[in-house]
Amino acid sequence: MIAPARKDFVAVPVAVDERGAYTNGKRRKQSYWRKWKQLSSLQRSLILFVLVLLLISGIIAYPGGPLTHWRAKSDTVERGNDDGLQAHIEMKSGGKAVLPEPPSERKGSRKRGPPALQNRSQNKRNGSEPHGEEMKKVVDRDGNKSRTSWHGSVIKKNEVTNAKKKETQPESEDSSVVESRLEAVREAFRHAWKGYKEFAWGHDELKPISKSYTEWFGLGLTLIDALDTMWILGLKKEFEEARQWVATHLSFGKSIEVNLFESTIRIMGGLLSTYHLTGDSLFLEKAKDIGSRLMPAFSTPSKIPYSDVNIGTGVAHPPHWTSDSTVAEVTTIQLEFRELSRLTGDPKYQDAVMQVMKQVHKLEGKHDGLVPMFINTNSGQFTHLGVYTLGARADSYYEYLLKQWIQGGKTETELLEDYMQAVEGIKKNLLKKSSPLGLTFVGELSHGRFSPKMDHLVCFLPGTLALGVHNGLPVEHMELAQQLMETCYQMYAQMETGLSPEIVHFNMQAGSVQDVDVKPADRHNLLRPETVESLFYLYRFTKDKKYQTWGWEIFQNFNKYTRVDTGGYTSINNVRDPKSPSPRDKMESFFLGETLKYFYLLFSDNLDLISLDTYLFNTEAHPLPIWPKAQ
């Protein structure tokens, strides 16, 4: 735009001959040049300035000119950078709070993320510079070379890059984005597997920062937990390496103590799932072996199993500090033992775990279908009455009520009754709204007093509710599932790293500026899968793309704050400090067994990939078949 005219002006003299007439031709040109030279420097500068402004204005006004293209490119870059920003609560004019919008899809865009976490002894790198795994060439399953764009998000050479072509080919664009995300998950798995293979092969869990390992049971826990994930992701080379280890090194005939619940859902569940997916009898034989060795845990006066058992000696016992077991642990082993009975034809496994369910079904001490957290192995009675939660020590009891009913052909009415009563108890006693956004959350009840505390573990509930609706339960459960899914997403979005803490407390006071409050001791993130799990179910049943978008945002933040350069991912101590999240130096086995698997299934549009009409997932994300008819 040209500035307004000024009052002062510049007079340019025009050459005339001795009679006062205008000259023309060569003499006139020479006269103009002479007069120009006679102008002062200031006058000449002003004239040139005006001419330059006119030229620039013409360029700006010309449609389709180079400046127009520059603006478009600048806007694209700016929008792309917005994708990486942490979502926060925004305040509209008038002070009304609104939910942060999920990041819009930037299909085909490429970004560089900050560097992955490194050993603190290493020098820090500039977050804007590509490095290591981010920029290496990878080869997909078809043998085509690809180039990683953002911590594993792969842009293939044959992807459409012309914007006009993309506008006219939305289906191919969507397909490209889907494959890019799926390959990003495969790359993340390969990166985690690289660290495990190099520094913790055959051991339970990787310590990626110190490049070492930890043992829990000494049974290759991460490897077994990841078997079916590798098969589902199509990582055949890695799978064959793991199978070879199982065939030659996995032995349960040694004197080691294991936790009944953890070894059932991770080891036996992983082996049974892999058997069903591959048809390889090796895994069924190993599952039979571990299953039989866990049976001494049920040798209690009440038939409520002990928490621990030595699989070599056959000696079982409760924890050293109590004779109680947690309710979640004793009621979240049924899917696996029932399936083992179906495959072997030996009813003892199913009889043992169903005796537990029958006992819990008839017990007093429930509150509108909600169960206490502990049960005594001697008396078979609930203990610590009056405390009710859907978090640790009780969570998966509710999950397995529904899933056992589905597994057995929907004939075991007591299981369905207990589940339906529990959902009503949750709605009546534990559901509240936060302030200022009115997020629906599940709190806890302690001796009649409500606490707005919610574990990240509770985020299994939206997916479970949605699964129930898919199997014919009331549609109102889906409405609640969608509300709780929004809340679980906000537990990520309202954190500075975009990753959820282990526990949050919701604000309920009027005038609160943020819904979520996190105590210092609860700010850690363990790479847990529950929110991604529920996103998977909600997307499968609603086809709403926002659930994939939320999942992609979470996946990128895992890459941004928990990925370790040398291989692996680590839990972190502080989700509220993006500059120093403080790695814990531990990669839980469920990151490969559950979290990455659910990411892959969430981003896939193939409904036949582990069909939810054919399989159901145990609480460690190991798919087991739905029985074809009542057993």
- The token pair that represents 101 in the structure block: 């919008």
Check: CB of residue 107 under 8 Å from CB of residue 177.
Answer: yes
CA distance 243 to 230: 11
What does residue 370 show for φ and ψ, rounded to 5 degrees? Answer: -85, 140
Beta strands in 417-474 (DSSP E): 431-433, 440-442, 444-446, 449-451, 453-455
Query: What contacts 568, CB < 8 A, 6 or more positions away?
Result: 191, 192, 194, 195, 196, 199, 206, 208, 587
Q: How many CA atoms lie within 13 A of 378 on its CB side?
A: 6
What does residue 564 show for φ and ψ, rounded to 5 degrees? Answer: -110, 130
Check: CB of residue 195 under 8 Å from CB of residue 565.
Answer: no
Helix (H) / strand (E) containing 439? none
> Which DSSP letter does residue 145 get?
E
Active site residues: 262, 395, 502, 530
> Which DSSP letter does residue 294 get?
H
Q: Return the closest-CA partner of residue 614 out of 604, 601, 599, 624.
A: 624
CA distance 497 to 84: 11
3-state secondary structure of 45: helix
Query: What contacts 160, CB < 8 A, 6 or more positions away?
Result: 108, 166, 169, 172, 173, 176
Check: CB of residue 461 under 8 Å from CB of residue 450.
Answer: no
Check: CB of residue 445 under 8 Å from CB of residue 370.
Answer: yes
Check: CB of residue 454 under 8 Å from CB of residue 441.
Answer: yes
Helix (H) / strand (E) containing 325? strand 324-326
Q: How many CA atoms lie within 13 A of 102 on its CB side?
A: 17
The label of the residue with tokens 């603006």 reads 71
The sign of the torsion formed by the CA atoms of 265, 270, 271, 272 equals positive
- The token pair that represents 190 in the structure block: 């390969």
Beta strands in 257-402 (DSSP E): 257-259, 308-310, 316-317, 324-326, 374-376, 382-383, 387-388
CA distance 397 to 394: 6
Check: CB of residue 620 under 8 Å from CB of residue 225.
Answer: yes
Do you know the residue count of the chain? 631
For strands 205-207 and 431-433, give the pairing.
Answer: unpaired
Helix (H) / strand (E) containing 527? none
CA distance 331 to 325: 10
Q: Is 110 exposed, middle or buried (0-12, 13-18, 19+ CB in 10 A)?
A: middle
| Sheet architecture: strand order including 449-451 | 387-388, 444-446, 449-451
The label of the residue with tokens 């290759």 reads 220
Cβ atoms within 10 Å of 129's Cβ, excluding its own: 11
